[in-house]
Chains A and B, each alone.
Chain A
Amino acid sequence: MAGIMKVKAKAKGEVTNVKLMAKHIMESGQRKDKKTGELIPAMFLQEISVQHGGKTVFTANLGTAVSKNPYLAFSFAGGAKGEELTLNWVENTGKTGSETAAIK
């Protein structure tokens, strides 16, 4: 299955800068269906975590006010070109995913 994570991770000196975007609608549960007038059930990413070399370097707990296609940028000490990041995500529906991205 194709992943939802787009990642730009760059090692620069002692630090790796990570920008990631998760392709996701982030349905808030507060919008009404234009045709039926009924509330569209919430469906949003609730947690995104990033691991490098077996260590968690970043975790985000997200609410429904995070914009569609959640964007996160952070940096951590360590990481080198060619090494791998693992990205795990959890949707409020219980759906989960795990993807990898290379540091450039």
Chain B
Amino acid sequence: LAMAAWNQDAFGSDNQANAMKALLGAEPTASADVTLKAPSIAENGAVVPVTVKTTAANVESISLFVEGNPTPLVAEFSVPAGTKAEVSTRIRMGKTSNITAVVKADGQLLSASQETKVTIGGCGG
């Protein structure tokens, strides 16, 4: 399985739906088979830890989107046979937004989303 080349149209798009279509050909369907782990409140919007995993079979790729970012597509990971369908990375978020992980498996597009809050900080008890 060869990795697709860096997709200029998808990475350059300022609209999440368009970026998804450019990268994956269509928009995904929410699925309980995809797990997205991200903090409910980010400690630092410049470094938000994210882990995606899935129980789906025959996974080809996992991609990450942040709806509120200037360019929503963050990264696309290929998952060759023999590699576990679980990846962790760290992403930038300018403001509170939904994070969406899309898994391409058996020709289907499955997704999970979560909102991560980016705050200027508070005080404390």
Our pick among B51, B74, B79 for the contact of A65 (Cβ within 8 Å) is B74
Q: List residues of chain A with CB under 8 Å of any chain B CB.
A: 15, 28, 30, 46-47, 49, 55-68, 70-78, 90
Name the residue on B nearest A19 (C-beta).
B88
- Output the least CB separation between B62 and chain A (Å): 10
Determine whether the beta carbon of B4 is less than 8 Å from that of A66.
no
Determine whether the beta carbon of A66 is less than 8 Å from that of B80.
no
Determine whether the beta carbon of B88 is less than 8 Å from that of A63.
no
Interface residues of B, CB < 8 Å — how many?
Answer: 32
* Total A-B Cβ pairs within 8 A: 102
Our pick among A61, A66, A72, A78 for the contact of B82 (Cβ within 8 Å) is A78
Determine whether the beta carbon of B90 is less than 8 Å from that of A67.
yes
Q: Which residues of B contact A67 (CB under 8 A)?
A: 46-48, 89-92
Question: Main secondary structure on chain A at its contact with chain B?
Answer: strand
Determine whether the beta carbon of A56 is less than 8 Å from that of B92.
no
Q: Which residues of A contact B69 (CB under 8 A)?
A: 65
Determine whether the beta carbon of A57 is less than 8 Å from that of B83.
yes
For the complex, give the distance between the alpha carbons of A15 and B86 in Å.
13
**Given contacts A63-B11, A65-B69, are A73 and B75 in contact (CB under 8 A)?**
no
**Given contacts A47-B6, A68-B46, A71-B89, are A63 and B74 in contact (CB under 8 A)?**
yes
Name the residue on B nearest A61 (C-beta).
B76
Determine whether the beta carbon of B80 is less than 8 Å from that of A57.
yes
Determine whether the beta carbon of B78 is less than 8 Å from that of A76.
no
Determine whether the beta carbon of A15 is less than 8 Å from that of B74.
no
Q: Which residues of A contact B4 (CB under 8 A)?
A: 61
Q: Which residues of B contact A66 (CB under 8 A)?
A: 74-75, 89-92
